[in-house]
Structure 1
């Protein structure tokens, strides 16, 4: 008996005249276990429905992109580098299969248990709480305990309380309803399945190296790709070529889909090596030549400039630096080009 195709497999299978044109290679892979925390560059990872997954050592524990977040103890509102720029200096890493470690300059390292609902965490019973995301929409997480709360509060606001750290509940996913429904109406390929754990929206953000290079030529002080907090940096294509990609294949397995351009905010003004937020740049310069022009998109994204693309996953698999990157294209030229490469 033939196995039924998943919705994602069906979508790929139904691509018209599917041909894949090689456009470049993976230059860098980044993930951020703590939302707005220090980015980690890795040589290989696994693309899952909730974002990048990396088996960290020691302990072979699996860390996922944006699986932890900081939230306000009183209001439950999520907090990011936009509120506390030095959050980008906080490193979260694995200790063993049940513990992770927080580190930052000037702070003693803190090891705490990866929480599970109803189980003890550093002397307290862990509890599921509702964090409030962008539009106040609730998203469940498991609180990481008082020691983690004290550590992050001391580092970011200089007190022993006020902020807490949450861990993504298994299976939790943001639903595109309420204010988010407007985004799905404008960007009609955006699905609930495209949202990440605690990412601002989608599970993946891809950009090209040449896009960063073009921006840097306009700046007095160049910035690294990491400042834009991508998951995937592609080398080879011309600047901003990713704007026009829809279906993207990485290596021989993974397929992702461009669901919307990535609007840029004050987060890109933060130097990832110092945690200092610049007064204007590179946001000011990016705005001078990358502002939205489509009125429907401006209605939901505002006039924020865009750089890179948000993507949803359609086919899982392993990805590593150096993997070829392809885009789906239907022209006869694509057929000729892909044949010539073999």
Structure 2
């Protein structure tokens, strides 16, 4: 009899545990897409009025332009807002078959979206200590970007679709992540899609004397309707009819978020980074790398538009 009771208890426990796991694996509605940002040139401004995109394995794409597939280098090293904050003054748009770059006090620069590739314009640059084959955009583009930024030895590079991309797992981290061996990026730091929640942004701004724009965090997709910071519990994110991404890591923040995208200058009080450090630091990232947003890798490619419902499977 004792054996039967024990077996019964064990079976009940197992069924309850499996039911709990099944419940945890259900898709839960968390909100809808409220904003989509595509940054063709890393560290420059986003394309304006984007309402729909295609999520590809290398990031968001619209009108033939892929997110962060152009980059500025100096002496062969990738540059970003941390090195050149005035890159945020460059505005991007599409004109015919060209990526158009506009900046104060200079004529616009036109870069072909689908340039010719030959051995003469193929060069290797360093991106986060990794070698990457790129297309050099030429001397005219180099002179333009040097004039805009006010620095010498700058060049523009493009990661054309046919060129190999970087493997994300080779980016060195001081903590474990859920990146996979096959995940790739162009000139993004780590992953092809960064997601943030408007409610989390609202909480941060309520704590600041001067609210800041979400553009200082440069997310690809903003979601409205979720609970503040609930995104730390998300594992798989389903957007619209087909597209989905997978949590890889929380997005740790640095001094880049202190740069105002409208002025290209850093805040004198180091905000909003200092405020984030007060309530968004956690293990295993330590006391100086606050978390805001999610790094995600692409699970399923698909179209995304403003207003699409977002469902998640939680951890």
d(CA) in 1 for partners of 2:103, 2:241: 38
> 1:174 aligned to 166, 175, 191, which one?
166
> 1:151 aligned to 113, 131, 144, which one?
144
2:281 touches 2:288 (CA, 8 Å); kept in 1?
Answer: yes
2:169 touches 2:180 (CA, 8 Å); kept in 1?
Answer: no
| Superposition deviation, residue 291 in structure 1 | 1.4
| Superposition deviation, residue 177 in structure 1 | 5.7
d(CA) in 2 for partners of 1:148, 1:16: 55
Q: Tell me which moved more, 87-96 or 283-292.
A: 87-96
d(CA) in 1 for partners of 2:184, 2:212: 28
Superposed, which structure 2 residues align to 1:6-85 within 5 Å?
19-41=26-48, 42-55=50-63, 62-72=64-74, 74=75, 76-85=76-85
Unaligned runs of 5+ in 1: 1-14, 56-61, 119-124, 331-342
Deviation digits for residues 29-52 of structure 1 (CA, Å, limit 9, x no counterpart): 101000001022411100000000
> 1:284 aligned to 274, 294, 307, which one?
274
For the structure 1 residues 192 and 53, does the alpha-carbon distance in structure 2 shift closer, same or farther, using more than 3 Å as the test? Answer: farther
d(CA) in 2 for partners of 1:235, 1:325: 9
Give the 3-state SS of the residue equivalent to 1:40 in structure 2: coil
* TM-score normalised by L of structure 1: 0.80
1:324 aligns to what?
Answer: 309
| Superposition deviation, residue 266 in structure 1 | 1.2
2:69 touches 2:158 (CA, 8 Å); kept in 1?
Answer: yes
1:122 aligns to what?
Answer: none
1:219 touches 1:285 (CA, 8 Å); kept in 2?
Answer: yes
> 1:209 aligned to 195, 198, 208, which one?
198
Give the 3-state SS of the residue equivalent to 1:226 in structure 2: helix
* TM-score normalised by L of structure 2: 0.86
| Superposition deviation, residue 303 in structure 1 | 3.2
| Superposition deviation, residue 171 in structure 1 | 4.1
For the structure 1 residues 193 and 93, does the alpha-carbon distance in structure 2 shift closer, same or farther, using more than 3 Å as the test? Answer: farther
2:233 maps to 1:231: no
2:169 touches 2:183 (CA, 8 Å); kept in 1?
Answer: no
Number of equivalenced pairs: 290
CA RMSD of superposed structures (Å): 2.1
Deviation digits for residues 92-116 of structure 1 (CA, Å, limit 9, x no counterpart): 333223x322211111112233433
Give the 3-state SS of the residue equivalent to 1:186 in structure 2: coil
Unaligned runs of 5+ in 2: 1-20
d(CA) in 2 for partners of 1:143, 1:239: 42
d(CA) in 1 for partners of 2:293, 2:100: 31
Give the 3-state SS of the residue equivalent to 1:246 in structure 2: strand
Deviation digits for residues 297-339 of structure 1 (CA, Å, limit 9, x no counterpart): 44xxx83111000001111110001000001259xxxxxxxxx
1:269 aligns to what?
Answer: 258
1:334 aligns to what?
Answer: none
